[in-house]
Structure formats: structure tokens, C-alpha cells
Amino acid sequence: MGNRGFFNGFPHLVDQPKTAHINGLDLDTPPENPHPFDDEFNTGVLSPKWTTSLQTGGLIDMTTFPSWLLLKDLANGDNYIQQAIPNANISVTGNFSPGFFSSAYENQLSVMFADASWPTAGNFAAGVQWWNNTGNPRMRLLTYDNFGSGATGDNSMYTGSTQRFFHVQRTTNTWVVGLSEDFITWRFITVSHTFTVTKLRINFYVQNSPTKCRAGMDWVRFNWFSV
């Protein structure tokens, strides 16, 4: 962990003041008592708690920028990591950088709680998405009901830093989804929906890109922050 600046949209270690405690939490330091599902992505290899699916040209890189997970892709397809999650009250908070090298093609980085069949029709998922459609970048707070035919949420344009914080929280059948640039000011949506959670998926999608694209995830922490 530690403090980072950005180079070509991606983090690198720099000499700058350490991040202060925000909302009672130290963002630079892993929890003293981490949840079994947590991952700081600082071991150089992907933990066996995750399963992966990579298209031709897809790559998981955990060495170029230590303590960051980079998902890379070329051409068409989805590359993802996911882990099994119990169907219970739970939250996930994370820090990511949507610094894609290709801005002229469609790229999507999504972090979603989902049921067993997602992403096919007739199911539900709740989470956040960085969506770059031919150079028009947006941060999206969304839920998917019946996948593409029933997407709801906030599709507003976000500007500013390339580093984002996200939060997805479940309390029974109420879902709160949020995004923040600084972990102080948040934009939230709240959705009521009943479904059976089976997994958390971090998904990187690229369409028709002639150059390799990538996005970075710094950490994910469960039941660490609440709204």
C-alpha cells in the first residue's frame, strides 16, 4: 500500500503526504482484522479465493504496479475475476483506477454483486461501472434487472481524478450503491430488490479495440465501511 500518484492514468509510488484518516478509516492501511473475502492485491499473484475467465489477449497483471491488480484486454470480450459470496447482509468497498490506454473504443470496468446466472437475461446485479463509449467516459451507479433490458441507475458524467472509490451495501433486500473521488463526498442510489447473491465479480470488457486496454484495482474490503 502507500501513497500514489498517477502516470498515464495509472498509479505509481510518489513522495507525498500520507492520506489522513477519513470517516474514521485509514485508506492506506489494510484492516487489522481483515474479512476473509478482502484482497489488497499486494502479493504479486492472484489469491486462490478468486476464479478467473480470460479471453484471448486477456491478462491479469500484478507485477507492473505492485499492490495493484491490472486487468488487460485486446479486441472483444469480457475478462473477469470473481469469488463466491454468501446470500446475506454484506458490503464491499474498493479503490480503482479506470485509466484506460484506449479512449476511442468501448471499455467497461464493472464491480457487481450478482446471482448465479448473471449476466444472462432474467436475473439481477447491483454495483458500479466505469463506462467509456468511444471516448465519452462515464461513471455509473446501477442495478441490472433482466440484464441489459432493465438497467437502472445514475449515468451521469464524472470528471476529475482517475482514482475512484466505490461502495455496494446490502441490508436484507435494500441495495445502496455509491461512488466517490475522495471518500468524503459520495453519490448514492438505493434500490429495493429481492434476489439471491452468489458472487462478487470484477469484470473488464473491451469492444473492437486495436490496442491493449487496462484498468486497475487497488483493494476490495468487505464489511469495512457502512452508510
Task: Please indicate, yes or no, if residue 227 is contained in any of the structural domains.
Answer: no
Residues of the chain with pLDDT > 90, as a percent, come to: 20
Task: Please indicate, yes or no, if residue 158 is contained in any of the structural domains.
Answer: yes
Helix (H, G, I), strand (E, B) or coil at 79: strand
- Looking at per-residue pLDDT, the higher value among 20 and 181 belongs to 181
User: What pLDDT is attached to residue 72?
Assistant: 78
Cβ–Cβ contacts within 10 Å for residue 221, how many? 22
Domain that holds residue 82: 4-222
User: What pLDDT is attached to residue 40?
Assistant: 95
Which region among 74-78, 100-104, 183-187, 189-193 has the lowest average model confidence (pLDDT)? Answer: 100-104
| Number of structural domains found in the chain | 1
Q: Return mean pLDDT, the chain.
A: 76
> What span, in angstroms and rounded, lies between the C-alpha atoms of 142 and 145?
10
Task: Please indicate, yes or no, if residue 76 is contained in any of the structural domains.
Answer: yes
Task: Please indicate, yes or no, if residue 114 is contained in any of the structural domains.
Answer: yes
Q: What is the residue type of 2? A: G
Task: Please indicate, yes or no, if residue 87 is contained in any of the structural domains.
Answer: yes
Task: Please indicate, yes or no, if residue 148 is contained in any of the structural domains.
Answer: yes
Q: What's the CATH code of the domain at 68? A: 2.60.120.200
Write down how long the chain is: 227
> What span, in angstroms and rounded, lies between the C-alpha atoms of 152 and 142?
6
Nearest to 215 by CA among 75, 117, 106, 107: 107
User: What pLDDT is attached to residue 125?
Assistant: 77
